Chains A and B, each alone.
Chain A
Amino acid sequence: MKHQLMITWQHMRRSPYQAMAAIMIMTLTMFVGLSFLLLSLGSSRLLSYLEQKPQVIAFFNDTITSEDQVKEVINKLREVNNTALVKFVSKETALKIYQERNKSDPLLLELVTANTLPASLEVSAKNVSELPALYEVLKGTANVEDISYQKDVVNTLISVLDKIRKGGVGLLIFLVTTALFTILTIIGMKIALRKDEIEIEKLVGASTNYVRLPFLLEGFFYGLFGAVMSWVTLYGIILLSTPHLTPYLNGLSLLPVSPVFMVELLGGAIIVGGFVGVVGSFAAVWRYLKH
């Protein structure tokens, strides 16, 4: 095996441009694959986050004075959908939330009092399709001044993410196919270049596996290097952009990415990259070393 690894290294060293081409296409493929995977995981988390947030918020006007009036509204909502989650946020609670969010800005804190903020009722449904009926109940309530309804935001996000995922899968299929053909061509060229050596090896008693193994290992190493390089690039980008992106992810725990998760991602990338490399080189070996 040690000797086979040495032969593989010689194969790669003696044709560095071909090796670079193979590694670069694998890096690009793995980079796109990992990027779309992270985007998909991140967007799933974003969606869950948004779905957990109140989807309809009814802001009361100042005419609402007693708890009974609020309970009446809640009961009306329960009649329509008894699984809906309803939470009353009083003016005082709203102020506390505001103060917590803006504790670093004394100027903003000074300007706002409990009277400035409206009391509200936060309503979530298990399913987005249940929201319109709840919305209609709130709309028909006399004391409600304004309603924030996120149905469209969530639906648009679902639609956009679905398109991104489909586009990503399509692009990934195209890139994996390109990587496979590139490795097949490069390994095929190397087999052709080493035709004499392979012929001699066979005549002196080399087994088929002995002849094939260095080419299969070469494909694996292209995948391995591609996976590691793409992972390093992606992790570098994530680490560099984390301080700039975190303020925009208000309350959403996406960044910083867990190092353990990134190590798992590297492991997965090596397995997938190595597999693609071996499949490409196996196709070349099967095609050009049949006899």
Chain B
Amino acid sequence: MGGNLFWTKGGVAHGCWPHKNCQRMIKFDGVSKKFPDQTTALDNINLEINDGEFVFLVGASGAGKTTILRLILREVLPNSGSIFVDEHDLKKISGSKVVQLRRKIGCVFQDLKLLNDRSILENVELSLWVLGKNEAEVRAEAKGKLELVGLSKKIDCFPAQLSGGELQRAAIARALAGDPKYLLADEPTGNVDDENAWKIVEILEKINDNGTTVLMATHNPEIVNKLHKRVVRLEEGKMVSDKKGKYRE
């Protein structure tokens, strides 16, 4: 499906994409992924995500939601098929291009990956230092992102001093640092109460309204149903539906 639209050189896609009339930004083309223990995580996934979309990835635990996010971040590689993000063919890009790719992607990890020996501000700053910004820029932007997620009064707190909801928001702030084009959120409402879950969703919607493409893995039907966005359903590694609407239709 669509494989003939691309030709690649040095891991950079040419041909139709990128093109001003061609908005696809993330494309999975017949992607399968098996882990070393032979578990099939994904089976022949074909998926296109356009600029500025908000997409829910839904499905039970082990359906393959996290694997899709890890593949986009090029944390793992597919066994077969191709993945394109912007001009990058993720199977072929070099190490320096991986760095460029990851700087375009903000990620809220399922296990948050916040450093416990750093304050929340320092955790957010981590994403900005790697971009080579100076101290003043890093400090100002990190504070701005923490303000955006409602944590401006907690910047000097350490992760152990924050609630589950606050930790999730801190992780979102770090993912937003550097203004990435894409935001991947892996179960960002998984371990928080309803009130905090809605706060997080509001933040993600706001980010999406500002033009960031959001891909959120969740198994919270209430949130999916309320937002009425595009929903990609996975079951045992297979994509069983892809339509705008509700959690189950």
Q: Is the CB of B130 within 8 A of A201?
A: yes
Contacts of B126 in A (CB 8 A): 197, 200-201, 204
Q: Is the CB of B115 within 8 A of A206?
A: no
Q: Is the CB of A203 within 8 A of B115?
A: no
Q: Is the CB of A207 within 8 A of B113?
A: no
Q: Is the CB of A203 within 8 A of B73?
A: yes
Whether, in the assembled complex, A196 has its beta carbon less than 8 Å from a beta carbon of chain B, the answer is yes
Q: How far is the CA of A51 from the CA of B127 in the complex (A)?
A: 68
For chain A, the count of residues having a C-beta within 8 Å of the partner chain is 15
Whether, in the assembled complex, B75 has its beta carbon less than 8 Å from a beta carbon of chain A, the answer is yes
Whether, in the assembled complex, A210 has its beta carbon less than 8 Å from a beta carbon of chain B, the answer is yes
Q: How far is the CA of A3 from the CA of B177 in the complex (A)?
A: 17
With A3-B135, A196-B115, A210-B130 already in contact, the answer to whether A203 and B75 are too (CB < 8 A) is yes
Q: Is the CB of A207 within 8 A of B99?
A: yes
Within 8 A of B (CB), among A5-63: none
CB distance from A276 to the nearest CB of B (A): 28
Contacts of A200 in B (CB 8 A): 113, 115, 126
Q: How far is the CA of A199 from the CA of B111 in the complex (A)?
A: 13
Q: How far is the CA of A288 from the CA of B107 in the complex (A)?
A: 25
Within 8 A of A (CB), among B207-240: none
Chain B residue with the shortest CB-CB distance to A194: B115
Whether, in the assembled complex, A243 has its beta carbon less than 8 Å from a beta carbon of chain B, the answer is no
For chain B, the count of residues having a C-beta within 8 Å of the partner chain is 23
Q: How far is the CA of A66 from the CA of B102 in the complex (A)?
A: 99
Whether, in the assembled complex, B60 has its beta carbon less than 8 Å from a beta carbon of chain A, the answer is no
CB distance from A213 to the nearest CB of B (A): 12
CB distance from B85 to the nearest CB of A (A): 13
With A2-B135, A3-B135 already in contact, the answer to whether A204 and B127 are too (CB < 8 A) is yes
Contacts of A199 in B (CB 8 A): 113
Q: Is the CB of B73 within 8 A of A206?
A: no
Chain B residue with the shortest CB-CB distance to A7: B129
With A203-B73, A204-B130, A204-B174 already in contact, the answer to whether A196 and B99 are too (CB < 8 A) is no
Q: Mark A199-217, 1 if CB is under 8 A from B, else 0.
A: 1111111111010000000
Given contacts A203-B102, A206-B130, list 15 more A-B pairs with CB under 8 A.
Answer: A196-B113, A196-B115, A197-B126, A201-B130, A202-B102, A203-B107, A203-B109, A203-B113, A204-B127, A204-B178, A205-B101, A205-B105, A205-B127, A205-B130, A207-B99
